[in-house]
Amino acid sequence: MTTRFVVIGGGPAGVAAATYAARLGAQVTIIERDVIGGAAHLWDCIPSKAMIATGGALSFLGRSAGMGLQQVDPTIDISNLDERLKHIMGDLEDKNNELLMSQNVRIVAGTGRLLDDKTVEATHNDGTVEVFEADKILLSTGSRPRIPEWCHPDGERILTTRDAYPPPEIPEHLTVVGSGVTGVEFVHMFASLGSDVTLIVSRQHVLPDKDPEVAYELEKNFIDRGVNLLKGARSTSIERVDDRVVVKCNDGRVVESSHAILAIGSIPNSENLGLDAAGVEHEWGFIPIDHNAQSNVPHIYAAGDLSGKLPLSSVATMQGRKIAEHMLGMHADRPHRHINYSKAASAIFTEPEIADVGVSEAEAFAHGRKVRVTKVPFSASAKAMINDDVRGFVKLISDPATGVVLGGSIVGRHAAELISVIALCVQNQLTVTDLAETLFVHPTLSETLIEAAE
Ligand SMILES: Cc1cc2nc3c(=O)[nH]c(=O)nc-3n(C[C@H](O)[C@H](O)[C@H](O)COP(=O)(O)OP(=O)(O)OC[C@H]3O[C@@H](n4cnc5c(N)ncnc54)[C@H](O)[C@@H]3O)c2cc1C
């Protein structure tokens, strides 16, 4: 009998699960209230990286003399930027819709909720209601920005990450509240678009969860670009006073700027989802899952940000794909096919770019684990010189006994692309010799990986 699979939430997790399950023979319905592609396409990964790419083009052109060109002084055209973002997002939405339709997935534009563990109700965006019986269900409703009670975003001067693509105007002076991955990306984005930026850093360093050497490189770059870092301060209020924004901190410091943006994490979209009616356990709004992404109700899966695992689009997509396979009886008892979240590569799209995967040096040190660490700067790379950008380094972590690559960090141009090579090694337990003996193209930045492996 054909499996009836209903997906609530059409972000990366939902789209991947729906597509793979349909390809494997299931009868699939996906319910999405906003845009197929999810928050990832509408507000998070895509528009943020598109804005960062525009800022990158601006700073690259600003350094045109370094490439042997006459120095130019480019400026931003905000309506052009707006068009560019709409164009990219529209194209991606169309592609996702086409992909789902090509697999005969039924797309329902509406809001879904569980009536019980086998029944899903969809309220269409036109107000009509439809009920679906399901053999398997995926909850992939994602998350939204966390807004504390001391802050009231107005979408004009007090912004959440969702108001920034692009904002009504490029801020003259922006205060960024939050110094994790999202916060530092916004610092970089607006500093390269010409804003003066102040970053409120609650600890003594940005990116407290990253390798300190990596965080140091980024801080150095921020300071060189004139970013004002307020360390050891927590915001306690953000208020609009006429056309200014006043941010107060717990240590008495006060920052006045033209705009402020809040980047202090996300909360799951799980209220009104009917979790209790279906007997699905939840903790702080997240749905705990096992290694197969099953909730406590085995035929109800959860994935993406809602699952409380790594909040990355790449992870959400992989979970979706694995869920489709598991649900249809593939690879159920093959533990090596389960996702190993500790091997997920991640990147921070700042300048320099930062990327890492697997075990970090600091982590190995904290656990008393013996590792071999090799660090090679890009300053010796011919390609980095050709690019007129020799900032950063490659750090490779391996097992001193076996040579197996355990992890790595890269700081520098194209780090987010280059880390994939180390991720492949980590995922497949390749050794430094395997890496060092691979014939890479010359001249490329990836040759620095070989040097680190030698
Ligand atoms: C500013 C920012 C930048 C980011 N950049 C990156 C990046 O560069 N790379 C990366 O890997 N990750 C990035 N992330 C994280 C990434 O966006 C998320 O991890 C990813 O979007 C999670 O995907 P998801 O499938 O859980 O759902 P989401 O993308 O959150 O989508 C969930 C969908 O469910 C829908 N929905 C919710 N409730 C219902 C309901 N009841 N009925 C119907 N539909 C519903 C929503 O409308 C939404 O479309 C970023 C996050 C932020 C905040």
Q: How much distance in Å is there from the Cα of 304 to the middle of ligand 1?
A: 7
Among candidates 375, 361, 356, 399, which has minimal Cα distance to 448?
375
Lowest-pLDDT choice from 333-337, 350-354, 359-363: 333-337
Domain boundary among 235, 264, 293: 264
Residues 136 and 279 in one domain: yes
**347 in any annotated domain:** no
Rg (CA), the chain: 23
Residues 40 and 66 in one domain: yes
Q: How confident is the model at residue 60 (pLDDT cuts 50, 70, 90)?
A: confident
For residue 41, count CB atoms less than 10 angstroms from its CB and return exposed for 0-12, middle for 13-18, buried for 19 or more.
buried
Residues 179 and 280 in one domain: no
Reported as a single tens digit per residue, the pLDDT across 416-426 is 999 999 999 99
**30 in any annotated domain:** yes
DSSP string for 327-367:
HTTSSTT-GGGS--GGG--EEE-SSS-EEEEE--HHHHHHT
Residues 291 and 222 in one domain: no
From 20, 36, 45, give the residue whose CB has the most ligand 1 atoms within 8 Å, as the site to mutate.
45
Number of domains in the chain: 3
| Any atom of ligand 1 within 6 Å of the Cβ of 240 | no
| Any atom of ligand 1 within 6 Å of the Cβ of 3 | no
Ligand 1 atom nearest to CA at 13: 25
Q: What is the pTM of this model?
A: 0.95
Residues 253 and 178 in one domain: yes
**18 in any annotated domain:** yes
Specify the pLDDT at position 101.
97
3-class state of residue 34 by DSSP: coil
* CATH classification at residue 359: 3.30.390.30
**344 in any annotated domain:** no
Domain boundary among 242, 264, 286: 264
Residues 257 and 273 in one domain: no
* CATH classification at residue 33: 3.50.50.60
Residues 379 and 304 in one domain: no
| Any atom of ligand 1 within 6 Å of the Cβ of 311 | yes
Strand ranges across the sheet with 129-133:
129-133, 119-124, 106-116, 27-32, 4-8, 136-139, 300-302
Is the model's pLDDT at 332 over the cut of 70?
no
Q: How confident is the model at residue 286 (pLDDT cuts 50, 70, 90)?
A: very high
Q: How confident is the model at residue 227 (pLDDT cuts 50, 70, 90)?
A: very high
**346 in any annotated domain:** no
Specify the pLDDT at position 421.
98
Residues 379 and 364 in one domain: yes
Residues 51 and 127 in one domain: yes
Reported as a single tens digit per residue, the pLDDT across 72-86 is 888 899 899 999 999
Residue with the larger pLDDT of the pair 74 and 126: 126
Number of helices (H), then strands (E), belonging to the chain: the values are: 13, 22
Give the Å distances, CA to CA, from 16 to 134, 309, 422.
18, 17, 25
What is the residue range of 164's domain?
A: 158-264
Residues 260 and 272 in one domain: no
| Any atom of ligand 1 within 6 Å of the Cβ of 274 | no
Among candidates 405, 446, 417, which has minimal Cα distance to 347?
417
d(CA 447, CA 382): 9
3-class state of residue 404 by DSSP: strand
Residues 141 and 69 in one domain: yes
Q: What percent of the chain has pLDDT over 70?
A: 99
**153 in any annotated domain:** no
Q: How much distance in Å is there from the Cα of 38 to the middle of ligand 1?
A: 5
| Any atom of ligand 1 within 6 Å of the Cβ of 347 | no
- Report which protein residue has its CA nearest ligand 1's atom 48: 38
Among candidates 443, 421, 439, 440, which has minimal Cα distance to 430?
421
**22 in any annotated domain:** yes
d(CA 280, CA 295): 7
Domain boundary among 236, 264, 292: 264
**150 in any annotated domain:** no
Residues 253 and 296 in one domain: no
Reported as a single tens digit per residue, the pLDDT across 366-418 is 899 999 999 999 999 999 999 999 999 999 999 999 999 999 999 999 999 99
Residue with the larger pLDDT of the pair 102 and 203: 102
User: Which tokens sit at 419?
Assistant: 């880390």
- Report which protein residue has its CA nearest ligand 1's atom 53: 44
3-class state of residue 228 by DSSP: strand
